[in-house]
């Protein structure tokens, strides 16, 4: 009874869900019900990968990142590009690595020189000018064109790539821009524990060496990736997409969010602006048209034996679908569900069983006390922000073969992710999981009502609705939960 009293909002919500589910399942076959349920879990896994990052970041840092959906989109495009057109990776990532290498020297350069506000603005303009000059006449259109062009031919890699001397020159300019940008940011750790000079220089040299290596092996590397078996290439694309999301997120926290911790309104305005910046960058680099990522061979085989009768047979047949209660269900969607469940378990283990998780949980309660114990809280903030955006990037790559990649996916998933975290409670990882489950199932059952209709117990004929029903169902659930408990199912009132 005590548990029910303490969690009465959760109990009431589950009772309402059970009642609504009973109405929706009326007259529905077991195969259909299970298929819709699995479809809902598939969407829930994707929503969780985005929403969990928002919850982790807000729970520790009180930062509401409206640009989080953009990392989902950028991760999707990064993974898709790695899988289909790695030459763009080898000819662009070195620029980012050179910029990050220079910025990593911030604590050596900026903490020794005090730059007035006017000087910081001047440094910013100079850095932007150097970057603009560095990318002048860069053959982006040729590097992106991995398919048949308007001329009826495929642009060869040798024709698309610039000579190494030109690429090294552009990379050096990005490094110079980063050095100048350090004086615009000022020291980002002036009031916290300072990392050692040796470690800082070693980090910068490692990033520079990695960028140079990518340029030196760009032709061999492209062929090696494209000749890699599709399953392994997809796994590498997952890692690459998550890495890109994590690095960009860490860079965003370090350079843009960190100076604005005391100004939350500016944080919101900044992250909202970055949503539109990311959308325009995607349209500029990859174009306004969307694309689908090829499903790995393990989940796309079509033969006389398909669909597989069960998961055991699927392990040897690798069919594109598996029979579930007499109805075929795409095997790739089962992989999405597995990844979602794995991430729920991994985050739970990270927060509950690791030293980093202990620091994060302590930092949520009292960050000043944690710093007094000799822990660099700023670095932990950057790591947490990177972990959150890495989850979004991973979700984008996972979604690419299922939903494709397109410029509008950032706003679409951002909206659903915020509905998830509001339902579950801001800052709560269990809440994000439960909220994602509710939203995913609502979308799946809503789509079924639109396509096939629903027969209620007191009606002789089934009724159907417009596609807006599926979208409105998630908002309706959010309204019900907020009416019962304004802080969300697992949310806590601020003391």
pLDDT digits (tens, 9 = 90+) for 7-43: 666 676 667 667 766 666 666 677 777 888 888 899 9
- Report whether pLDDT(1) > 70: no
Instruction: Work out the average pLDDT over 84-103.
Output: 91
Query: According to the model, what pLDDT value does residue 356 have?
Result: 80
pLDDT band, residue 319 (cuts 50/70/90):
confident
Listed residue (58, 89, 49) closest to 491, CA to CA:
58
Listed residue (299, 397, 394) closest to 346, CA to CA:
394
Q: Convert the pLDDT of each residue in 35-78 to its tens digit.
A: 888 888 999 999 999 999 898 888 777 888 899 999 999 999 99
Query: What is the chain's mean pLDDT, rounded?
Result: 83
CA distance 442 to 461: 22
Q: How far is CA 370 from each of CA 107, 152, 350, rounded to the nearest angstrom?
A: 22, 62, 18
Q: Are 469 and 403 in contact (CB under 8 A)?
A: no
CA distance 260 to 257: 5
> Roughly how many angstroms between the first and final C-alpha of the chain, as a whole number?
26
Give the H or E element holding residue 324.
strand 321-324
CA distance 397 to 50: 12
Q: What is the DSSP letter of 301?
A: B
Q: Convert the pLDDT of each residue in 284-309 to its tens digit.
A: 888 888 888 888 888 887 877 787 77
- Report whether pLDDT(251) > 80: yes
SS3 annotation, 471-486: HHHHHHHHHHHHHHCC
Distance of CA 330 to the CA centre of its chain: 23
| Structure-token pair, residue 351 | 């927060």
Q: Are 13 and 488 in contact (CB under 8 A)?
A: no
Would you kindly state where each structural domain of the chain is located, as residue ranges? 6-297+326-484
For 233-252, b/e burial (b = at least 16 CB within 10 A) is bbebbbebbbbbbbbbbbbb
Question: Quick one: 72 exposed, middle or buried, by C-beta within 10 A (0-12, 13-18, 19+)?
Answer: buried
Listed residue (276, 299, 284, 251) closest to 400, CA to CA:
299
Q: Convert the pLDDT of each residue in 141-178 to its tens digit.
A: 888 876 645 444 556 676 778 899 999 999 999 999 99
């Amino acid at each position: 009874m005590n548990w029910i009293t303490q969690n009465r909002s959760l109990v009431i919500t589950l009772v309402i869900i059970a009642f609504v589910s009973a109405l929706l399942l009326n007259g529905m076959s077991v195969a259909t019900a299970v298929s819709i349920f699995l479809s809902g879990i598939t969407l829930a896994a994707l929503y969780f990968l985005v929403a969990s990052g928002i919850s982790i970041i807000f729970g520790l840092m009180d930062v509401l990142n409206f640009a989080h959906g953009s990392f989902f989109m950028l991760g999707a495009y990064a993974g898709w590009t790695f899988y289909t057109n790695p030459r763009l990776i080898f000819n662009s990532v070195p620029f980012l690595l050179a910029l990050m290498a220079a910025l990593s020297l911030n604590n050596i350069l900026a903490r020794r020189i005090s730059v007035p506000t006017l000087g910081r603005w001047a440094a910013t303009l100079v850095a932007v000018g150097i970057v603009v000059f560095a990318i002048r006449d860069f053959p982006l259109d040729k590097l992106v064109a991995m398919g048949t062009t308007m001329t009826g031919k495929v642009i060869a890699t040798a024709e698309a790539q610039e000579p190494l001397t030109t690429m090294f020159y552009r990379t050096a300019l990005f490094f110079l821009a980063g050095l100048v940008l350090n004086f615009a940011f000022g020291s980002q750790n002036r009031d916290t524990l300072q990392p050692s000079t040796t470690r800082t220089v070693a980090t910068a040299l490692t990033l520079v060496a990695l960028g140079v290596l990518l340029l030196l092996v760009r032709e061999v590397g492209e062929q090696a990736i494209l000749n890699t078996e599709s399953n392994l290439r997809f796994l590498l694309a997952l890692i690459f997409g998550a890495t890109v999301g994590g690095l960009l997120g860490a860079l965003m926290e370090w350079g843009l969010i960190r100076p604005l911790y005391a100004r939350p309104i500016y944080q919101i305005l900044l992250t909202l602006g970055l949503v539109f910046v990311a959308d325009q960058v995607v349209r500029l680099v990859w174009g306004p048209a969307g694309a689908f990522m090829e499903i790995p061979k393990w989940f796309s085989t079509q033969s006389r034996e398909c669909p597989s009768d069960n998961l055991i047979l699927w392990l040897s047949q690798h069919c594109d679908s598996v029979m579930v209660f007499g109805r075929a269900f795409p095997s790739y969607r089962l992989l999405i569900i597995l990844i979602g469940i794995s991430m729920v378990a991994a985050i739970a283990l990270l927060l509950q069983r690791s030293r980093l998780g202990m620091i994060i949980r302590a930092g949520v309660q009292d960050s000043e006390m944690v710093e007094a114990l000799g822990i660099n809280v700023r670095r932990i903030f950057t790591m947490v922000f990177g972990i959150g955006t890495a989850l979004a990037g991973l979700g984008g790559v996972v979604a690419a073969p299922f939903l494709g990649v397109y410029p509008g996916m950032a706003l679409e998933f951002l909206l659903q992710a915020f509905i998830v975290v509001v339902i579950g409670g801001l800052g709560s990882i269990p809440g994000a999981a439960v909220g994602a489950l509710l939203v995913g199932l609502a979308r799946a059952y809503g789509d079924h009502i639109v396509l096939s209709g629903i027969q209620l117990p007191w009606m002789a004929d089934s009724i159907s609705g417009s596609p807006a029903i599926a979208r409105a169902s998630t908002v309706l659930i959010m309204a019900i939960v907020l009416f019962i408990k304004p802080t969300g199912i697992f949310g806590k009132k601020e003391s």
